[in-house]
Chain A
Amino acid sequence: MAYHSFLLEPISCHAWNKDRTQIALCPNNHEVHIYRKDGARWSKVHELKEHNGQVTGIDWAPESNRLVTCGTDRNAYVWTLKGNVWKPTLVILRINRAARCVKWSPKENKFAVGSGSRLISVCYFEQENDWWVCKHIKKPIRSTVLSLDWHPNNVLLAAGSCDFKCRIFSAYIKEVEERPSPTPWGSKMPFGELMFESSSSCGWVHSICFSASGSRVAWVSHDSTLCLADANKKMAVASLCTETLPLLAVTFITENSLVAAGHDCYPMLFTYEESQGTLTFGGKLDIPKQSSQRGLTARERFQNLDKKASSDTANATLDTLHKNSIRHISVLAGGKANCSQFCTTGMDGGMSIWDVKSLESALKDLKIK
């Protein structure tokens, strides 16, 4: 696995360009820094300074090469590369709380922003006025929208919220697209239509992801659960109570397999069994270092007893690659249908690239379906 320590501070969010030679990330402040790969090293090539608050979301459109960023300053900017300079365009989101997440739609003609204003701003470019406008999806969201993901049809939008629910809305904008054809989530899709709403879990929904086909949506909540709704099974929801600390990020890597990571600092595999409608834990994806097993001296043993009331030899350092919570996962190669590489960033300021084939050969019991 390739691990690079960018910062001593948390990486708030990140996004990759199309050919994966550049990564844009927020170094826990009001800026976005873009690094380019130079052989084995990373060099900082741009600093985007426009936000007046922490940048909470970044997305990089692969075809049009535009960046969109959003922040706690309640603003979003669309950035276009002119020569060697990134030029920002302000987008008025009409929100009165921090923006928390942003995603370009698959066709890159719209983007959606989730915020603490308990609504989603769906933004599109209005040609005649030469600026970005937005429409709001409000009902029935009751709290901050923490995560968003678009369906491949460019219309349906999944949203995870602090009101414990995962919802799928229509974000159909007649000004920029044709009427969408029916999907397993429904056929009538006027703007703002609620196509699916999960029953309450007991935790904020940190991350949400459509499968490559769009007929499945998975989400992770703060009550240490992973859930999946299958539109081909009448939107039946499978859920798994994990034995881990809450997960903060999830992505599909095949139509049946998911990778999620969070406060336990390592990514893990989950498998969806369609016939039984179940989710199962498939294993930890971090290959532990070969740590030397040295015995404890009598003094250390006594100190352990005194401090921790136990004399076991488990040390206090993490043997995972990331040394703090993982906040974001992105698919680098293969797409969500057949992911061969994914990337994690976290509170330890580090970025790690995980190779699926290497994981499969190193972890003998790993079964990716």
Chain B
Amino acid sequence: TPRRTGDALRAFHAAIRSHPANCKNPAMKEQAQGTMLKVLTSFKSSDIEPAVNSLDRNGVDLLMKYIYKGFEKPTENSSAILLQWHEKALAVGGLGSIVRVLTARKTV
């Protein structure tokens, strides 16, 4: 239903905005990762592309970091949906966004 889609998109933007930048506290980072993973896995496949397109360059880089963090700690079925997010994020961010996941000093 449209209302559910709107909720997922809003939750997505909220999770991106409230990313704890420069945070070294492992508990806080884990919480942010958990929240983001929940949001990403709650999306319908068809809603992923517009969500990615609504981000700016920094948002796409941040999303890519969370996607790889999600790959690191897979849950039941999480990898399948994350692969779809990865495909759409790659189309927008290019290989550069993946390079920056590898070179980042501050992990998500």
Contacts and interface: CB of A to CB of B under 8 A. Distances in A.
B94 A223 contact: no
B4 interface: no
A243 B96 CA distance: 4
A214 interface: no
A368 B95 CA distance: 25
B96 A244 contact: yes
A54 interface: no
A1 interface: no
A202 B96 contact: no
Interface in A243-262: 243-246
A241 B99 CA distance: 10
Interface in B88-108: 93-97, 99-100, 103-105
Interface string B37-75: 000000000000000000001100100000000000000
A243 B92 CA distance: 8
A243 B103 contact: no
Band of interface residues on B: 10 to 19
Contact of B94 (A200, A202, A222, A242): A242
Contacts of A223: 99-100, 103-104
Candidate in A200, A223, A225 with the most chain B CB atoms within 10 angstroms: A223
A203 B103 CA distance: 6
- Chain A interface mostly: loop
Given A223-B99, A224-B99, A243 B104 contact: no
A224 B93 CA distance: 11
B30 to A, nearest CB: 22
A244 B95 CA distance: 5
A202 B97 contact: no
Contacts of B61: 241
Contact of A242 (B58, B96, B105): B96
Nearest to A244: B96
Interface string A214-242: 00000000111100000000000000011
Interface of B: 57-58, 61, 93-97, 99-100, 103-105
5 contacts: A202-B100, A223-B99, A224-B103, A225-B100, A243-B93
Given A203-B103, A225-B100, A243-B94, 17 more contacts: A200-B105, A202-B100, A222-B103, A223-B99, A223-B103, A223-B104, A224-B95, A224-B96, A224-B99, A241-B57, A241-B100, A242-B94, A243-B93, A243-B95, A244-B95, A245-B99, A246-B99
